[in-house]
Structures are given as structure tokens and as C-alpha cells.
Amino acid sequence: METDQAPRIIPIAVGGRFAFDCNPGVACFNACCRDLSQVLTPYDVLRLSRGLGLRTGEFLRRHTACRIGPGSGLPVVSLVPGDPAERTCPFLLPSGCRVYCDRPSSCRTYPLMRAVRRDRVTGRLSEEFLLLREPHCGGFETGPVRTPAEWVAEQGLAPYHAENDRLLEVISVKNRLRPGPLPPPAAGEVAACLYDLDRLRDGLDGSDPRQLGPEAELFAAARTDDLALLHLGMERVKRLLAQPNAGRATQGETAWS
């Protein structure tokens, strides 16, 4: 195991290879689930809430906090630690992760980190991977050798990447049209559209599909299809951000009602 105190972030080529394994036999098992600072994407929230059998609003109230991100100016959701002293993940058990099948994308990606860039002219995305080697982690001492692409496939990351990349479109619209923090009413509506998807679905009954514009094709599917619902929420956020009064700067946090 490495003894250096500072973590190392090492670029890894597409065809690069690394050895890694994490299981109860590794001495540091569960260590990375402590000292938690876990940000969740909208797709993370959707998967976790469904896996736990909770409505999205209930999941958000029980397990998360919401603030305005200093970089994007959009609502950012993070897990509330289960143990305030050790800042452990609320889903950590001695035997491991109790939401492992629906664990967030950052947990799935570890020990890799994925960096995505969006071309401002073409809109095309490019990705690169970096290897995060933390001093406490003994997972590099054993395990099969893989490429980043093989790790992505093994960890079931494809749908996470697809939905997280869609969020980049929302962030791009926000940066272009409404730089800076959103005012509380707009921030609350954005948070609901991105994260509290069951609340969004509840509101569909009062909507007229003929007045939804580009959202109309998602409307019917969103009643029963969760991905269509997530996509509808993102489209609504982009429409909200295009409104003239959506971007007056403010400070503060967004609370779940």
C-alpha cells in the first residue's frame, strides 16, 4: 500500500491499463465511504430513490442537502452523512454498501475520475480519464488489469455517463443565458425539475400538451417512463433559464418542501 500522504491524480490514456479491486478482504474496505463529500447528479437521485423504494421528494428530505453551486449557480444536491463525526455515507454497513446496485456515478467510477469537455462551437463532448491514487487505498495491490473502457463497462457506467452528459447541456444554457446564482424562486423550481421528479410527474395532470412546445413529445412518456421524466425536467429547466426574470443574483440555500 502507498504511504505518501497526498493523493495523486494520474492521467491515463484510453488504452492505458490499471490493476484494482475492492472487496472485504482489502484492509481499507469501506474507508472511502467516510469523510464524505458526496455530490449527487439528477440521475443518481433517480436511481437511489427507486432502489430504496422512495419517492424522490422523500429521498431528498431524508438523505440530502441542497445548496447553490458556486461554479454553475444551479442547485447542487449532496448526501447528508449518516455519522456527523466520521462523516460516513448514510448507506454504509459493516458488510459494505446497501445501495450498491444503485450507487452514484462517482462511486462507480472510482478509482478513476472522468473529465468531460464541451466544445462551445460544435457542442461535441470529449472525455478523458484520470487515476486517483489515495494513500489509504490498498485496492491497487491486487485485482485484474483493465482499461478505462473496460472499467466503465464492468461498473455499468454507460447510462450514468449518458444522463450526466445531458446535464452539461443544462449547465451550458445556464452559463450562456443566466450567469451567476439564481434567485430563490427560480432555484427552487430548477431543483424540483432536476431532482424531485415525482413532484414534477404529479404536476403533469394539470398541463396541456398542446402548450408544451418541444416538451410535448416527452409529455406522454414521462407519465410512466422515468428517463423521459428526467429529460422533461431538463427541458423545463432550459425553458425556465430562457425567461428574462430567471437570473437575478442572490445568495442562500434551497430547502426541500
Among the listed residues 74, 168, 162, 161, the one whose alpha carbon sits nearest the alpha carbon of residue 119 = 168
Question: Who's near 27: CB < 8 A, 6+ residues apart?
Answer: 1, 138
What are the distances in angstroms from CA 231 to CA 135, 222, 242? 39, 8, 17
Q: What is the pLDDT of residue 183?
A: 84
pLDDT tens digit sequence for 176-234: 998 888 888 899 999 999 999 999 999 887 666 555 566 777 888 898 999 999 999 99
Among the listed residues 250, 236, 235, the one whose alpha carbon sits nearest the alpha carbon of residue 189 = 236
Residue 39 has a CB neighbour count (10 Å cut-off) of 14
Q: What is the pLDDT of residue 248?
A: 47
The pLDDT profile of the chain, 257 residues, written as one tens digit per residue, is 444 578 899 999 989 999 999 888 888 888 888 877 899 999 999 999 999 999 999 999 999 999 998 888 899 999 999 888 888 999 998 888 999 999 999 999 999 999 998 787 787 888 999 999 988 888 887 789 999 999 999 999 999 999 999 999 999 899 899 888 888 889 999 999 999 999 999 988 766 655 556 677 788 889 899 999 999 999 999 989 988 765 444 333 444 43
What is the Cβ-side half-sphere exposure of residue 109, based on CA atoms within 13 angstroms? Answer: 18
User: What pTM value is reported for the model?
Assistant: 0.88
Among the listed residues 235, 242, 239, the one whose alpha carbon sits nearest the alpha carbon of residue 221 = 235
Cell of 177: 443565458
Q: Is 172 exposed, middle or buried (0-12, 13-18, 19+ CB in 10 A)?
A: middle
Distance in Å from the first CA to the final CA of the chain: 46
Q: Is 177 exposed, middle or buried (0-12, 13-18, 19+ CB in 10 A)?
A: middle
Rounded Cα distance between 67 and 182, Å, is: 11
What are the distances in angstroms from CA 151 to CA 122, 134, 251? 28, 18, 40
Q: What is the pLDDT of residue 141?
A: 78
